[in-house]
Amino acid sequence: MDSAWFAILVPYLKKIDPYDHLVTSNPSHMASSLFDLLTKHYYENNDNKKIDRYLMHSLKNYHKPILFTEYGNKRPYSNYHPLRYRVFIWSAFTNQKHLVFWNNSFAKYDTGGTGQYTNIYLGPEARRMTKIHTQFIMNFPTQHRNINLEISEPQKARAHCLQADDDLIVYFYHFADRPNTLSGREKDTGPVLKNMTVQVPVPPDANVVIWLNPKTGSILNSFDVTPGIQSLDVPDFQIDIALRVTRKERIIRILNSSSLIDLNLN
């Protein structure tokens, strides 16, 4: 479809729709100003040191909601790769992107079979990590923005930060010396990142810090904090770690748990 067709169709849909639905196409014509949100298909074949960067830097100049209506891995990477999946979901959330994975759960492929696009194996590991992620971000305010944080080891890690008026979530990815595993059947090894610090603008009314292991769901530490710029010691971590700075009453059940795996917040 060309832009002339959309110029006719989109205003017509908006005119006859009594519910004021958002309008887009799939995939979007990214340059069009007619759409309320933009969609894109993307299959990731950057190596494991770079898999958070596309979601961090892509499509920032459109100032509209971004929905990846197809997302997954591309050869030589397997559809079964829990590490890449985990980095995808956390990097997407903290950069205001939304992913719809092309599920390929009927089989695990070491290198994706014969197809170019290997997609994603949404098996037990991926579902468990999704639950951990969902529990940790629960009740995060809908009005938020990305901010840059200063970390002491920028040559080894990246910090993805989403800030609301009284809440803040950060996802740290240790990309340096990350083995370029092609499949979840390979062990993810590499050095532990130690003694890193981060400068955090603690929002007004926020009064607690909580650190999470995104892979296991374990609560690594939590403590009280006061508003203002605070230098926080990041717990030592091998691949990734997550931070939330918020109000205690917003996450009281998480604070009373040692792990998000068995916690039911519904």
In the sheet with 219-224, reading across from the earlier edge strand, the strands are: 145-147, 157-163, 168-174, 240-246, 208-212, 219-224
Same domain? 87 vs 149: no
Kindly report the pTM of this predicted structure. Answer: 0.91
Domain termination residue (choose one: 111, 137, 163): 137
Report the CATH number at residue 154.
2.60.40.1180
Residue listed under structure tokens 């494991």: 48
Last residue of some domain: 137, 165, 184?
A: 137
pLDDT, one tens digit per residue, over 126-137 is: 999 999 999 999
Pairing of strands 38-44, 66-74: parallel
Same domain flag for 119 and 15: yes
121 shares a domain with 17: yes
Residue tagged 């062990």 (tokens): 187
> Could you give the maximum distance between any two Cα atoms of the chain, in Å?
59
- In this prediction, residue 216 carries a pLDDT of 94
Low-confidence ranges of the chain (pLDDT < 50): 112
User: Residue 31 has what pLDDT?
Assistant: 60
Is residue 262 domain-resident?
A: no
Q: Is 252 exposed, middle or buried (CB count within 10 Å of its CB: 0-12, 13-18, 19+)?
A: exposed
What pLDDT is stored for residue 262 in this prediction? 67
